[in-house]
Amino acid sequence: MANHKSAEKRTRQSQVRRMRNRTNRSKMKTAIKGLSQAIEAGSVEEAKTALAAAVPVIAKTASKGTIHKKNASRKISRLTKRVNNMETGA
């Protein structure tokens, strides 16, 4: 338990940031899950739409600092690759 005023403030700030990060991460994971379901369903148009919705969410999560920008880039790249492979039938 914090004993100093500054430590109490740091605890409050950490809790607020934790909840904000958790919300952002949850939104990102929901968008990715929707895309994965569209890919598994085999619908190319649905997958493209879901990808177009998921990419900005992932990028925004990185810009907020919740995840690293290279982590976001890697996620976007892999998801785009999966959708593109769906199109070609590979």
Higher pLDDT residue, 47 or 90? 47
pTM for the complete prediction?
Answer: 0.87
What's the average model confidence in pLDDT over 26-47?
95
pLDDT, tens digit, for every residue of 44-85?
999 999 999 999 999 999 999 999 999 999 999 999 999 999
| Domains parsed from the chain with CATH numbers | 5-88 (1.20.58.110)
87: pLDDT confidence band, cut at 50, 70 and 90?
confident
46 Cβ neighbours under 8 A, 6+ residues apart: 38
| HSE toward the beta carbon, residue 37, CA cutoff 13 A | 8
> How does the average pLDDT of the chain come out, rounded?
95
Q: Which residues contact 2 (CB under 8 A, 6 or more apart)?
A: 8, 10, 11
> How far is Cα 90 from Cα 87, in angstroms, rounded to an integer?
8
